[in-house]
Every structure is written in C-alpha cells, then in structure tokens.
Amino acid sequence: LEAARDRPNLTIIGQATVDKVLFDGRKAIGVLAIVAGQVRKFEAPLVIVSAGAIHSPVILQRSGIGPAALLKRKDIEVLADLPVGEGFFDHPYCRIELKLKPGFKATDLDARHTNCCVRMSSGVPGAERDDILYVAMNHGGIGVESDSAQFGEAMVNLILMEAKSRGTVQLRSANPFDQPLVEENMLDDPMDLQRMRIAYRHLGEIARQAPIQAIAERVLLGDSDLPLSWLETASDEEVDNFLLAQSSDAQHGIGGCCMGRPGEAVVDPECRVYGLEGLRVIDASIMPLDCQANTNLTSIMIGEKMADSLRRST
C-alpha cells in the first residue's frame, strides 16, 4: 500500500465501515459507509467488495444479496437469492506445546518465528497427497522469564490441508457493527477427523524423538495438561474427542462468496456477482476449493489477476 499511497487515482479513507452496496435497480452504483461516526455515500461505476472471507459475505447480505430465507429473517429485502456465506472453511490445526529449556528460548527480535515446515501425506484413501503440514514455531514472546507466563514456549502445529468440512458466515443483524456469526463446522467430515487423528499420533511420535526431548523441559498436548505419553494409550475415540475440543483455525479463512457455475455459486470466473451489474467480489472469499497452502499468495494472485483483467477492460 505504501508504494501506491500517493497515486492521484487512489483515495484511502480510515475509520470507515462499509454498511452496504447501493443499487439503482440491479446495477451497483456505490456504497453506504460510516466514516468516523458519520454516514457517507460513495458513488462509483464499478463496486469491488474486498473485505475478506469473514466480512465480504455479510456486506453482500446486508445489501440484499444472499440466501432469501436468511435475509427475510433479518428483515432485509431480497435483491438476489444467492448462496452468499456458504462454503466457508479454514485449515484446522492442533498443536503440541514445548516448554523449552534455558538456552533454547527466543531472547531477541531476530529469533525466527517459523523455523521449519514439513509436508506429509495421511495415506487415507481418497485424500490428496501432502494433505498434512507440520510447522515448528516460537510463540511465547521474547525477553526474560518475568515478562510473560508464556515466555519460552514453542510449538509444533499440525495443519490439515484439503479439508472437506464446510461452514457458513451469516450476518447477526442489519447493523454493520454487529460482528458476523461464523460457524466453521470444523472436522465435521469423518475423513477430516480421521486424517487429523493419524497426523496427530504421528506428531506425538515426532515429539518423542531425542532432538525435541533435548530442548524441551516438558511436552504437552495443545492447551491441555495432558502429557505426551497420553497419546500412546488413548483410544481413537478419545483422540477424536481431544481434537474436537482442542483444534482451532489457522486463520486461513476462504469461501463464502464462491466462484462457480450459475445457480450454484456467487461469482463468475471474472468475479462478477451473478444476476447483478457493476459489482464484483475480489478476495479469498471467492475460493471454492483449498489451495493446499497458506492462502496469502493465492489471495494476492487473485487480486493481481483481476487488476490486470480490469485494466484491459477499461
């Protein structure tokens, strides 16, 4: 952004919350926003919604674009009955926590945050290759012991790629300051849970190896007080229940304004919202499938591709 800040055709407005897209009939003509507490209208021949997988869906829903039943329950007039907010998902992850020994704790800002990433295949029939990612990280801060109760902690994350489970993003009300209701529905698909269990048991085997034992005073499972040895005797059902309680998201949320065929999706291959004019969604929310990686680069390429397409069409 800094490189583009001084461009004459760019205006950056802070303290702004977009309420909804404005329409003349079925053509988008601008947006309504609250800027520093004041309601303002911004008009434009083309409106691009790029608020991410959490907020792009609810901006559309507040604008009357989304599942008709949901909008009617929120007393919002339906402009386009589309599956907005559906197909949302994130990469599930669960971790093993390392309480590091003196001499192995991060002590300055130059210490690496992410130290190692390793891919593995779960081997489950029907699963993609390299569907498991292990990430070793420092995450307990820097400095001295008294600075933080978490000082000196590290972890090895297990992140599931190609997750099959899907969730939803829905507006709570027509108030733009009400945070969305996000139901990730994580590990709902039996294959997701099976692959996580296999990979977490394998992670336990890794953590029992001498190099990790040499740097860690203690090794715990996730946010629990369970020792590493618990994994050796726990049943599959017990591990599944542990994963359902301990797993979180990798903050790689995508979907909710998915690209696809007419009648099944929200946007077409040019990111245009079906059934409307002058409105596009360009961000991670258009992704209907997992990119089997951190979603950052894919999101950047979506923006670059569409920027090039828009330049060529204007």
Distance, C-alpha 194 to centroid of its chain: 22
Sign of CA dihedral 117, 91, 207, 199: negative
**Rg over CA atoms, the chain:** 23
Q: Among residues 138, 132, 145, 126, which one has the least CA distance to residue 91?
A: 132
55, 91, 202, 252: the active-site residue: 252
Q: Among residues 255, 261, 262, which one has the least CA distance to residue 80?
A: 262
**Is the separation of the CB atoms in 58 and 181 below 8 Å?**
no
Distance CA 198, CA 160 (A): 11
Distance CA 5, CA 14 (A): 13
Percent helix, strand and coil across the chain, each to the nearest 5: 25, 30, 45
Q: What sections of the chain are H helices per DSSP?
A: 52-62, 68-73, 190-207, 210-215, 230-233, 236-246, 295-313
Distance CA 268, CA 259 (A): 6
**Residue with token string 């999101």:** 299
Could you confirm whether 202 is annotated as catalytic?
no
Give the residue numbers annotated as catalytic, written as ranges: 252
